[in-house]
């Protein structure tokens, strides 16, 4: 059982929950950028939350299925078509052999997910099916899809799928969002005004945004002047190259904060001043260029409470198994 | 005749969101800070703490990823502080590691061509990265810079950025270390296996992609082999580990091509030999320490 890719879309890749335990050698966690949407797509076809899906960015693929298949599309609002007829998101779609699936324009967000009953069945590499394109590792031959690819689909598990995701649990795709951050790492290297600017500005997401990181435009942030330590480099935004927390915000030269995301480089020489809390990484992933973003500082306790709230949403979808 | 500073104060603990603990061992780079980062990482790995997902030692710091549902942040911090204490008590600071010979074609056409493409905005628009590096270090010629680059060994102080990329720290007194600023604006392209340099760190780019380090040459054999075709990668697709010691060996075009042919045939293996790295000896008498470890490699 397989999907035959007629057109690949802009950057369609195979993703699952991600690859953990290899960040120490520079291999990022990867995985679906918007984990909740990917997991909801899986729930709708009776997969387990960690099954691999297709992640579609902006312009989706066009593909046919070689046998009957059950799919679901969740995530950013997009026009879904089966044999040219409009079909619904957030529900189960039954395909017959030879049916063609394609996508129209997005009306918000950036990424949507196609789950298929049985999951995308590429081999696991280092414990995950996620695509790490820079390292040409995992996913479909270590890369995004191309026309002519035959993407294997696994055998259904037989678990019963959800009929739909209740509207109040579905993610929203707003033009203005609040992203909670935990200040720390090298925040002491900013002036008080610099930190105030970070948390009081409505930052605009630039088009420089991919799985590695997202860059925001706004005013410059002021670093404290200092004599740089040996090995750090000359700019006050430089540090002795260190590990990068995923979700951390770096501000090279005090201009244009960058939020590192699932395919983050694992280390480098720019000071990080805060980190997006785990509960809000999906919110960042859903942001389209132009989205106005407020970085709201929270405490560790608040971050952990938000994490527990996010887990409740997952449990509401998956029951206790999620 | 010593690296400075060597006295390490207690580390600084801070959080990277609710999933990362960051331990800054020192603001400045030193062998002692790197040694402490790696010693802590080794001990933390051995403890196999429930909920700790990744332990990433870096040049002068340590990053841990954890699941706060499995190990509460304050509990994890207490455990890591305990390990920091243990490491501070170590009287003997040695590392059982290996020295590896890395063949490099210095001043090669690939990095020259890439350097020429990104000349606009470079600190030295009319020359090469090697010309710039020689001038910055007060050396008479690029050839002298190349000689200083390969005559003494380097310690792999961190692996990361992208898959398997080694950051390397030259094991010589600080005043003799080569230092070069990074590109003013990072390149969007770097040939795979480029030997780069930024600040006091050398690196080898494991894959093609962006990069900000000055480019001096190209390594002849892979350091990241996802298909694990070569014997050196039979255990893992990534060659370098923190604590490895590297000796660059200059090769010309003929030897570079011969090595590539061996790589293609699947017969290439790196020359390497086990050595003991002794921090105190490396700090107090680096010349003798380097001579000892290089003799091991040359005695192969």
ipTM rounded to 2 decimals: 0.97
Distance from CA of A155 to the nearest CA of B (A): 27
Rounded CA-CA distance A227/A230 in Å is 9
Closest residue by Cα to residue A43 from A72, A81, A12 = A72
Closest residue by Cα to residue A23 from A278, A260, A270 = A260
Rounded CA-CA distance B30/A230 in Å is 8
Asked if the C-beta of B233 comes within 8 angstroms of chain A's C-beta atoms, the answer is no
The set of residues, in sequence order, having a beta carbon less than 8 Å from that of B138 and lying 6+ positions away, is none
Rounded CA-CA distance A23/B238 in Å is 12
Mean pLDDT for chain B overall:
94
Asked if the C-beta of B267 comes within 8 angstroms of chain A's C-beta atoms, the answer is no
Rounded CA-CA distance B82/B85 in Å is 5
The shortest CB-CB distance from B162 to any of A26, A238, A240 is to A26
What is the predicted pLDDT for the residue at A320? 46
**How many C-beta atoms surround the C-beta of residue A157 within 10 A?**
14
What is the predicted pLDDT for the residue at A220? 96
Cross-chain residue pair B18–A25, CB shorter than 8 Å: no
A28: left (phi over 0), alpha (psi -120 to 50) or beta: beta
Pairing of strands A213-217, A258-260: antiparallel
HSE-up of residue A288 (Cα within 13 Å, Cβ side): 16
The shortest CB-CB distance from A241 to any of B18, B20, B167 is to B167
Confidence of residue B93 (pLDDT cuts 50, 70, 90): confident
What is the predicted pLDDT for the residue at A232? 87
Provide, as residue numbers in chain B, all residues whose Cβ is less than 8 Å from the Cβ of A232.
Answer: 27-29, 199
Backbone angles phi, psi at B159, to 5 degrees: -120, 125
Which whole-number Å values give the CA distances from B70 to A47, B20, B244, in the listed order? 25, 13, 33
Helical segments of chain B, H only: 31-47, 73-89, 109-117, 129-136, 142-151, 253-265, 279-284, 286-298
DSSP A202-234: -EEEEEEE-SSEEEEESSPPPBPP-PPPTTS-S
Rounded CA-CA distance B252/B255 in Å is 6
The shortest CB-CB distance from B200 to any of A25, A231, A238 is to A231
Pairing of strands A176-183, A292-297: parallel
Cross-chain residue pair A269–B164, CB shorter than 8 Å: no
Cross-chain residue pair B58–A134, CB shorter than 8 Å: no
Instruction: Assess contact for A24 and B160: CB atoms under 8 A.
Output: yes
Rounded CA-CA distance B230/B215 in Å is 26
Rounded CA-CA distance B292/B295 in Å is 5
Rounded CA-CA distance A188/A195 in Å is 9
Instruction: Assess contact for B195 and B213: CB atoms under 8 A.
Output: no
What is the predicted pLDDT for the residue at A321? 43
> Is residue B265 predicted with pLDDT exceeding 80?
yes
Instruction: Assess contact for A269 and A233: CB atoms under 8 A.
Output: yes
The chain A residue lying nearest B165, using CA atoms, is A26
Asked if the C-beta of A35 comes within 8 angstroms of chain B's C-beta atoms, the answer is no
Provide, as residue numbers in chain A, all residues whose Cβ is less than 8 Å from the Cβ of B161.
Answer: 26, 241, 265-268
Asked if the C-beta of A48 comes within 8 angstroms of chain B's C-beta atoms, the answer is no
Provide, as residue numbers in chain A, all residues whose Cβ is less than 8 Å from the Cβ of B158.
Answer: 241, 267
Rounded CA-CA distance A189/B12 in Å is 14
- What average pLDDT does this structure show over B180-195? 91
Instruction: Assess contact for B188 and B169: CB atoms under 8 A.
Output: no
Q: Give me the percent of chain B exceeding a pLDDT of 90.
A: 88
Chains A, B: CB contacts under 8 A, how many? 181
Judged by DSSP in three states, A105 sits in: strand
Distance from CA of B23 to the nearest CA of A (A): 9
pLDDT digits (tens, 9 = 90+) for B109-156: 999 999 999 999 899 999 999 999 999 999 999 999 999 999 999 999
What is the predicted pLDDT for the residue at B90? 84
- Tens place of pLDDT per residue across chain A (322 aa): 999 999 999 999 999 999 999 999 999 999 999 999 999 999 999 999 999 999 999 999 999 999 999 999 999 999 999 999 999 999 999 999 999 999 999 999 999 999 999 999 999 999 999 999 999 999 999 999 999 999 999 999 888 889 899 999 999 999 999 999 999 999 999 999 999 999 999 999 999 999 999 999 999 999 999 999 998 888 889 999 999 999 999 998 899 999 999 999 999 999 999 999 999 999 999 999 999 999 999 999 999 999 999 999 999 998 744 4
Rounded CA-CA distance A38/A284 in Å is 15
**What is the reported pTM?**
0.95
Pairing of strands A238-243, A272-276: unpaired
pLDDT digits (tens, 9 = 90+) for B50-89: 999 999 999 999 999 999 999 999 999 999 999 999 999 8
Instruction: Assess contact for B220 and B260: CB atoms under 8 A.
Output: yes
Cross-chain residue pair B57–A234, CB shorter than 8 Å: no
Rounded CA-CA distance B194/A158 in Å is 50
The set of residues, in sequence order, having a beta carbon less than 8 Å from that of A87 and lying 6+ positions away, is A73, A80, A81, A93
């Amino acid at each position: 059982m397989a999907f035959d890719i007629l057109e690949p879309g802009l950057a369609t890749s195979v993703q699952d929950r991600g690859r953990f335990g290899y960040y120490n050698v520079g291999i990022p966690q990867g995985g679906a950028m918007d984990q909740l949407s990917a997991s909801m797509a899986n729930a709708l076809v009776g997969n387990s939350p960690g099954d691999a899906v297709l992640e579609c960015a902006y312009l989706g693929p066009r593909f046919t299925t070689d046998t009957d298949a059950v799919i679901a599309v969740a995530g950013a609002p997009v026009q879904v078509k089966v044999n040219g007829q409009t079909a619904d998101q957030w529900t189960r779609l039954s395909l017959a052999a030879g049916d063609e699936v394609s996508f129209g324009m997005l009306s918000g967000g950036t990424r949507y997910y196609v789950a298929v009953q049985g999951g995308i069945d590429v081999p696991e590499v280092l414990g995950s099916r996620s695509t790490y394109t820079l390292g040409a590792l995992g996913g479909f031959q270590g890369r995004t899809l191309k026309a002519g690819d035959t993407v294997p689909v696994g055998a259904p598990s037989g678990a019963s799928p959800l009929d739909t995701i209740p509207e109040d649990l579905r993610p929203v795709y707003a033009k203005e969002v609040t992203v909670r951050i935990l200040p720390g790492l090298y925040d002491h290297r900013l002036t008080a005004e610099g930190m105030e600017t970070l948390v009081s500005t409505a930052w605009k997401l630039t088009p420089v945004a991919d799985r590695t990181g997202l860059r925001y435009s706004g005013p410059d942030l002021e670093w404290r002047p200092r004599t740089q330590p040996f090995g750090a480099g000359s700019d006050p935004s430089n540090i002795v190259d260190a590990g990068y927390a995923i979700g951390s915000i770096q501000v090279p030269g005090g201009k244009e904060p960058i939020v590192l995301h699932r395919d983050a480089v694992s280390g480098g020489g720019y000071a990080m001043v805060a980190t997006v809390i785990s509960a809000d990484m999906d919110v960042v992933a859903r942001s389209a260029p132009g989205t106005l973003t407020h970085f709201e500082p929270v405490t560790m306790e608040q971050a952990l409470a938000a994490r527990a709230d996010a887990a409740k949403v997952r449990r509401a979808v998956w029951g206790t198994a999620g | 005749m010593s690296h400075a500073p060597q006295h390490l104060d207690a580390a600084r603990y801070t959080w990277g969101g609710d999933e990362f603990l960051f331990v800054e061992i020192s603001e400045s780079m030193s062998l002692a800070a790197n040694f402490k980062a790696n010693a802590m990482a080794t001990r933390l790995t051995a403890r196999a703490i429930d909920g700790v997902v990744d332990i990433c030692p870096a040049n002068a710091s340590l990053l841990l990823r954890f699941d706060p549902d499995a190990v509460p942040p304050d509990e994890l911090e207490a455990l890591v502080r305990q390990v920091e204490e243990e490491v501070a008590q170590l009287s003997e600071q040695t590392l059982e590691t290996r020295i590896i010979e890395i063949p490099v074609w210095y001043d090669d056409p690939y990095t020259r061509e890439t350097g020429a493409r990104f000349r606009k905005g470079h600190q030295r628009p009319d020359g090469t990265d090697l010309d710039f590096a020689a001038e910055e270090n007060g050396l008479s010629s690029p050839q002298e810079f190349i000689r200083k680059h390969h005559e003494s060994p380097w310690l792999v102080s961190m692996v990361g950025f992208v898959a398997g990329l080694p950051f390397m720290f030259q094991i010589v007194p600080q005043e003799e270390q080569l230092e070069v600023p990074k590109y003013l604006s990072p390149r969007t392209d770097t040939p795979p296996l480029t030997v780069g340099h930024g600040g006091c760190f050398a690196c080898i780019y494991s894959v093609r992609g962006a990069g900000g380090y000055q480019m001096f040459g190209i390594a002849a054999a892979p350091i990241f082999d996802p298909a694990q075709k070569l014997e050196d990668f039979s255990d893992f697709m990534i060659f370098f580990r923190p604590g490895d010691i590297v000796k660059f060996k200059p090769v010309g075009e003929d030897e570079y091509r011969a090595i590539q042919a061996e790589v293609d045939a699947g017969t290439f293996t790196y020359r390497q030999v086990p050595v003991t790295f002794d921090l105190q000896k490396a700090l107090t008498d680096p010349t003798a320490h380097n001579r000892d470890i290089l003799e091991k490699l040359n005695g192969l």
